[in-house]
């Protein structure tokens, strides 16, 4: 067999998880330049840029949600695909063990996490034979938050703000713009979309995701689709959705469109939304040894930094208007906050995602949540009882390696999409005295009413900034509900100067609602705009 194949796949997974390719870095640099530094959008993009550099410097996951590993493998005639599939699975398990992937494979019937990213359907591996002499392996890591913002339209259809979308490229244009608008900050904008025009429901989504293997700076060989891609990029960035849904000029960094033949009765437009943490790489391997001959999407040289090392080392870009909060937090402190305030949290913080929220609806919490900060986060953690802090490097302090009673180290800790907790959040706030809920993408009317009634706020952290936020965690003090798996457990964290923005306050105000309404008006103005 191929003696170096396993190590090559582990290296591919590691690089994909920790180092964005040059075309994505260039697109994010343009997005950063499009926003004023002192605005919410500018601060968010500065954090993102720092996070990109920090992840590459320490080979830590760019985002804690390392997604569903999806491999596209081209093999020459005679290659043993059965052995390759088994070896790729072994490499995925090894990368998970090393903390480069978060355990994300969950039994859909029992809810049990396999712990190694293996299980029915995980990872996804597509093989195709070609006439080339080498083995080519491409990998994309697309997280659950942006996966949930995928969209599929059956034309003709009536769309919010855009009216009728018919079976034409003009109808396709409307569908893509609608998908970008609907994603708001839940998909960690500025994002990219892969689109398939046609096919059936299954092939359409697959082909849409395959478009994300194209580089952001390529030109579509079909001039009609190239024209449509350019029109979408122009119009989507007029929407004012902005980074993280905070409003701004950068909402989309890429649009890639493909087309498949369809049935006469069907006309689907499938949209695969990917976040700014656009993790996609590939390798060419020697077909005899499995050793890496070359990288796809990037050269072998080190990535060009997003920011000067001094800027990264300075951490969060402060304006002097930030408000410090020390947990536990009082109702008086919370009611003094308003939408748009930037806060810096220190003290005890608890993580809680889907399983924790469902548990708290039926059971008492394992900790005292009065005055607490509840963070919608599924961190990447490794057991490391003997860990000691690493010395700082040019990209700033390394991720902390806390001792803590639990003996765990958090290596990535960005927020997850909060709207999934909408059925539970108001009740949990009221019942247990939670004062701060933090995640990304905002929440709905029920939670907004609960914040006002109980005296609590919702904070939006910057989605995907997993390395940046890991550096705000001083130690892990403990963990509860470990039976749910490491991403879904309740982690007890001590944090310092953890930055986030108040986007829903205790007075009934919501930045998310305001931006959705504002961007909806802009969307309506694009109703009759034809591709140029």
* 170 Cα distance to chain centroid: 30
Percent of the chain clearing pLDDT 70 (strictly above): 95
**pLDDT tens digits, residue range 14-67?**
999 999 999 999 999 999 999 998 899 999 999 999 999 999 999 999 999 999
Count how many Cα atoms sit within 13 Å of the Cα of residue 267 in the half-sphere of its side chain. 12
SS (H, E, C) 279-300: EEEEEEECCCCCCEEEEECCCC
Q: Residue 385 above 80 pLDDT? A: no
Could you tell me the two tokens for 110?
């029992």
Q: Which residues contact 187 (CB under 8 A, 6 or more apart)?
A: 145, 146, 148, 149, 273, 274, 275, 441
Predicted confidence (pLDDT) at residue 497 exceeds the cutoff of 50 = yes
d(CA 166, CA 264) in angstroms, rounded, equals 14
310 Cβ contact list (under 8 Å, min separation 6): none
* CB contact at 8 A, 430 and 360: no
Cis-peptide into 328, omega within 30 deg: yes
Please check whether residue 54 is in contact with residue 471, taking contact to mean a CB–CB distance below 8 angstroms. yes
3-state secondary structure of 186: coil
Residue whose entry in the numeric block shows the structure tokens 């809810």: 111
Q: Residues 405-420: pLDDT tens digits?
A: 568 999 999 999 999 9
Q: Reduce the secondary structure of 105-140 to three states and give it as a string.
A: CECCCCCCECCCCCECCECEEEEEECCCCCEEEEEE
Where does the pLDDT of residue 255 fall: very low under 50, low under 70, confident under 90, or very high at 90 and above?
A: very high
Residue 4 to residues 1, 30, 248, 408, 427, Cα–Cα distance (Å): 9, 38, 46, 32, 53
* CB hemisphere CA count around 392 (13 angstroms): 11
Most confidently modeled range among 62-76, 298-312, 315-329: 62-76
Q: What is the mean pLDDT of residues 203-218?
A: 97
Q: Minimal CA–CA distance to 84: which of 17, 147, 136, 27?
A: 136
Say how far apart CA 267 and CA 312 lie, in whole Å. Answer: 47
Is the pLDDT at 392 greater than 70, yes or no? no
DSSP-assigned letter for residue 440: B
CB-CB contact of 274 with 5 (8 Å): no
On whether the CB atoms of residues 274 and 212 are closer than 8 A, the answer is: yes
pLDDT of 387 strictly over 50:
no
Where in 319-395 does DSSP place strands (E)? 323-326, 342-351, 373-375, 380-383
DSSP three-state, residue 233: helix
Please report the pLDDT score of residue 299 as a whole number.
Answer: 80
Q: What is the mean pLDDT of the chain?
A: 93
Structural domains of the chain sorted by starting position, each given as residue range(s) with its CATH number in brackets: 1-142+282-317 (no CATH), 144-274 (no CATH), 320-514 (3.20.130.10)
pLDDT at residue number 319: 83
- 394 pLDDT band (50/70/90 cuts)? very low
For the stretch 482-492, pLDDT in tens is 999 999 999 99
Residue 235's alpha-carbon distances to 103, 123, 519, in angstroms, are 37, 35, 12
- Coarse DSSP helix, strand, coil percentages of the chain, rounded to the nearest 5 percent: 35, 25, 40
Q: Is the pLDDT of residue 177 over 90?
A: yes
**Closest Cα partner for 398 from 60, 159, 136, 171?**
60
Q: How confident is the model at residue 318 (pLDDT cuts 50, 70, 90)?
A: confident
pTM for this structure?
A: 0.92
> What was the pLDDT predicted at 529?
66
Sequence-ordered strand ranges (E) for 101-239? 124-129, 135-142, 151-154, 157-159, 163-165, 191-198
Alpha carbons 149 and 516: distance in angstroms, whole number: 15
> 187 pLDDT exceeds 50?
yes
Interatomic CA distance for residues 457 and 7, integer angstroms: 47
Collapsing DSSP to helix, strand or coil, 441 comes out as coil
Closest among 383, 384, 401 to 392, alpha carbons compared? 401
Q: What's the rounded Cα separation, in Å, for the pair 64 and 71?
A: 19
Give me the DSSP letters along 492-503. Answer: EEEEEEEEEEEE
> Please, are residues 401 and 338 in contact by the beta-carbon 8 Å criterion?
no
Contacts of residue 530, Cβ cutoff 8 Å, sequence gap at least 6 = 170
**Cross-strand pairs, 294:** 284
Name which of 179, 148, 343 is nearest 252 in CA terms: 179
């Amino acid at each position: 067999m191929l003696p170096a194949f396993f190590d090559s796949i582990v290296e591919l997974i590691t690089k994909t998880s920790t180092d964005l390719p040059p075309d994505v870095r260039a697109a994010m640099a343009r997005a950063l330049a499009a926003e004023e530094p002192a605005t919410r959008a500018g601060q968010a993009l500065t954090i993102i840029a720092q996070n990109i550099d920090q992840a590459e410097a320490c080979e830590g996951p760019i985002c804690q949600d390392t997604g569903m590993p999806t491999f596209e493998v081209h093999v020459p005639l005679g290659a043993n695909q059965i052995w390759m599939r088994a070896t790729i699975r072994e490499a995925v398990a090894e990368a998970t063990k090393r903390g480069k992937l978060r355990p994300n494979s969950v039994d859909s019937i029992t809810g049990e996490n396999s712990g190694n990213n293996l299980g029915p359907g995980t990872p996804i591996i597509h093989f195709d034979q070609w006439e080339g002499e080498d083995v080519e392996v491409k990998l994309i890591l697309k997280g659950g938050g942006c996966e949930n913002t995928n969209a599929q339209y059956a034309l003709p259809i009536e769309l919010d703000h855009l009216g009728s979308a018919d079976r034409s490229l003009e109808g396709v244009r409307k569908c893509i713009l609608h998908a970008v608008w609907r994603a708001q900050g839940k998909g960690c904008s500025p994002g990219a979309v892969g689109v398939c025009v046609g096919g059936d429901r299954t092939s359409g989504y697959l082909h849409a995701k395959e478009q994300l293997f194209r580089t952001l700076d390529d030109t579509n060989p079909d001039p009609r689709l190239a024209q449509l891609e350019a029109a979408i990029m122009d119009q989507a960035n007029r929407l004012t959705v902005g980074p993280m849904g905070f409003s701004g000029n950068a909402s989309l960094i890429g649009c890639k469109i493909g087309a498949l033949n369809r049935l006469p009765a069907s006309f689907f437009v499938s949209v695969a939304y990917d976040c700014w943490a656009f993790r996609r790489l590939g390798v060419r391997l020697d077909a005899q040894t499995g050793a890496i001959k070359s990288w796809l999407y990037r050269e072998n040289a080190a990535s060009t930094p997003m920011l000067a090392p001094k800027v990264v080392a300075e951490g969060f870009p402060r304006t002097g208007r930030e408000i410090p909060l020390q947990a536990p937090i009082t109702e008086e402190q919370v009611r003094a906050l308003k939408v748009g305030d930037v806060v810096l949290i220190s003290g005890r913080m608890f993580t809680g995602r889907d399983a924790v929220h469902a548990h708290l609806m039926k059971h008492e919490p394992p900790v005292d949540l009065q005055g607490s900060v509840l963070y919608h986060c599924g961190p990447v953690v490794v057991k490391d009882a003997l860990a000691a802090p690493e010395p700082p490097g040019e990209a700033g302090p390394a991720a902390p390696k806390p001792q803590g009673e639990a003996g765990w180290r958090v290596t990535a800790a960005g927020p997850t999409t909060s709207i999934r907790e909408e059925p539970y959040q108001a009740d949990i706030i009221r019942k247990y005295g939670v004062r701060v809920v933090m995640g990304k993408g905002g929440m709905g009317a029920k939670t907004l009413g609960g914040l006002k009634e109980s005296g609590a706020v919702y904070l939006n952290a910057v989605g995907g900034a997993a390395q940046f936020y890991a550096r705000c965690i001083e130690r892990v003090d403990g963990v509860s509900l470990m039976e749910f798996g490491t991403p879904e457990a309740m982690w007890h964290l001590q944090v310092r100067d953890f930055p986030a923005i108040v986007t829903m306050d205790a007075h009934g105000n919501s930045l998310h609602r305001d931006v959705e309404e504002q961007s909806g008006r802009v969307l309506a103005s694009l109703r009759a705009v034809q591709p140029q």
